[in-house]
Structure 1
Amino acid sequence: MAGEGEKERVRVFGLWASPFSLRVEWALKLKGVEYEFVNEDFLTNGKSAELLHYNPVTKKIPMLVHGEKALAESLVIVEYIDEVWSDGYPILPKDPYERAQARFWARYAEDQCLPTTYAIYTSPEEEVEAATKAAQQCLSTLEEALKGKKFFGGEKIGFLDIAVGWFPIWFRMIEEIVGVSLVNKESLPLLDAWFDRFLAEELVKGTCPPKEKLYSFNRARREQIISGKIHAKK
């Protein structure tokens, strides 16, 4: 039987435009867990009292509330989901070494690939080329984890795919908004092919934010960052 408490109410406090909220949704959907998504539109309305109640430490989304148990940090939440609904779709590898490797590459992507790529989005035009080259170098290293595989998890989506699954959505958006070619068949062929495979998955197509709404939101946000009206942050 799956983990105790599996039938308790499950809520995800997130933001429709947050790639990190998607991680939690993907994990729940892979496990076949029903959940309620609570859109925290804090950019317009501020943070809700409920969010602050459940996450008084970082006050950030996404938050998973399972019954009355609250968890923060998207990758921590994904591991929790994998353990609680243990009889469902396996997210983390069973082999200890492979599991450690998945966690290592997820951390590398979070610490190295995310900030260098985000720098492209937040950089003025004269700094974009250098930022793009720095991001490609990090992503080239990440490609090592894809060699000989269909997905980072092997033949099926796994933990690392969930961790970096927002890349195909947001990186393509950054390319269009900024006017760069970051991931393509010449620069990063393995990652480029994985982008197409991942985006073709029904799991992903069914959860992606509306493209025009997402692009419009982030185009305006980039202009505000470049002009100094708001601070750049993840």
Structure 2
Amino acid sequence: MSKAKLVILDCWVSPFCMRVKIALNEKGLEYEAQAEDLFGGKSELLLSSNPIYKKVPVFLHGGKPLCESIIIVNYIDETWSSPPLLPPCSYGRAQARFWADFIDKKVFDACGNIWRSKGEVPVEAKKEFIEILKQLEEALGDKDYFIGTTFGFVDIILIPLTSWFFAVEKIGGFTVEAECPKFSNWMKRCLQRESVAKVVPPPEKVYEFVLMFRKMQGID
């Protein structure tokens, strides 16, 4: 089964899809990314593979679908054990999953509170976003990556979300580098990895998408 065809139903700007592609790249696996038109009409394959949420990413392993990016990354790590993405000890794995859960619940919503703002961005929205990054910066400490010296699970869950930070900075009128320098250095370190660099789109391109999406939503 582990040698079966690997397909991801994908959208280039989705950080949740990026997570899956980075995990596959870290494992050195060949896969096919099938682009979904999320605005013009979702494919029958997407609708049948993810009938509950009808959204990307969907990971197909030998035709069997899996949904939700954290579940998919966990599955990839369990199915292809080398190199491991999670720490070797159960406590370390639990801690990594805690931070992945924190990231999932907090970061993208906090981004949205800024880029979805009409008119001037509320001070509270910026404060909340920066406070979340400071909590993550504290968890990172002086380590190169969240798990330690090795790029792993938490980094994979978080780094794709940062592709939207440039748009958030432009709309919010601040910079992550000025507010959270250690976090900013971690971002740069991760983006230099080949597995990440070939997946994460240029921040300016994401910004253009966000501006277009704001117009579609009647925000501008």
CA contact (8 A) 1:11 1:66 kept: yes
Offset at residue 156 of structure 1 (A): 1.9
Task: For 1:72 and 1:181, locate their aligned partners in 2 and report how far apart those are by CA, in whole Å.
Answer: 34
Residue identity opposite 2:45 in structure 1:
E
Tell me the CA shift for residue 144 of structure 1.
2.1
Corresponding position of 1:232: none
Match of 2:213 among 208, 221, 225: 221
| Sequence identity percentage | 40
Give TM-score scaled by structure 1 length: 0.88
Q: Take 2:175 and 2:105, find their aligned partners in 1: how far apart are those partners?
A: 18
Q: 1:14 aligns with which of 10, 14, 28?
A: 10
Q: C-alpha distance in 2, partners of 1:65/1:23?
A: 15
Distance in 2 (CA, whole Å) between partners of 1:24 and 1:43 is: 21
Match runs of 1:51-200 below 5 Å: 51-86=46-81, 88-176=82-170, 178-185=171-178, 187-200=179-192
Count of residue correspondences:
220
Kindly tell me: are residues 120 and 60 of structure 1, through their superposed partners in 2, closer, same or farther at Cα, counting changes over 3 Å?
A: same
Q: In structure 2, do the counterparts of structure 1 residues 213 and 190 end up closer, same or farther at CA, with 3 Å as the change threshold?
A: closer
Query: Any idea what SS the aligned residue of 2:177 has?
Result: coil
RMSD: 1.7
Q: What amino acid sits opposite 2:207 in the alignment?
A: Y
Aligned counterparts of 2:113 and 2:130: Cα–Cα separation in 1: 12
Query: So what's the TM-score if we normalise by structure 2?
Result: 0.93
Q: Judging changes above 3 Å, is the alpha-carbon distance between structure 1 residues 129 and 224 closer, same or farther for their aligned structure 2 residues? A: farther
Q: What is the CA-CA distance between 1:182 and the residue it aligns to? A: 4.2
Question: 1-side partners of 2:47 and 2:216: how far apart?
Answer: 27
Deviates most, 27-36 or 117-126: 117-126
Partners in 1 of 2:150 and 2:192 — Cα distance? Answer: 13
For the residue of structure 2 that corresponds to 1:37, the secondary structure is strand
Q: 1:204 — aligned with what? A: 196
> For 1:143-176, what per-residue CA distance to the aligned partner results, in whole angstroms no more than 9, with x for missing partners?
2220120011211211100110113321123213
Could you tell me which amino acid in structure 2 is paired with residue 15 of structure 1?
A: C
Cα distance in 2 between the residues matched to 1:30 and 1:227: 38
**CA distance change for structure 1 residues 224 and 52 in 2, over 3 Å: closer, same or farther?**
closer
For each residue in 1:106-132, what CA deviation from the matched residue of structure 2 results, as whole angstroms up to 9, or x when unmatched? 111111222122201111233343211
Please report how far the alpha carbon of residue 210 of structure 1 lies from its aligned counterpart in structure 2 after TM superposition: 4.6
1:20 partner SS: helix
Q: Is the 8 A contact 1:132 1:182 kept in 2?
A: no
- Secondary structure of the 1:184 match is helix
AA aligned opposite 2:174? S
Instruction: For 1:197 and 1:98, locate their aligned partners in 2 and report how far apart those are by CA, in whole Å.
Output: 22
The offset of 1:212, in angstroms, is: 4.5
Q: Distance in 2 between matches of 1:223 and 1:52?
A: 26
Aligned to 1:27: 23
In 1, Cα distance between the equivalents of 2:32 and 2:50? 17
* 2-structure distance, mates of 1:66, 1:17: 22
1:208 CA displacement: 2.0
Q: 1:136·1:182 contact (CA, 8 Å) conserved in 2?
A: no
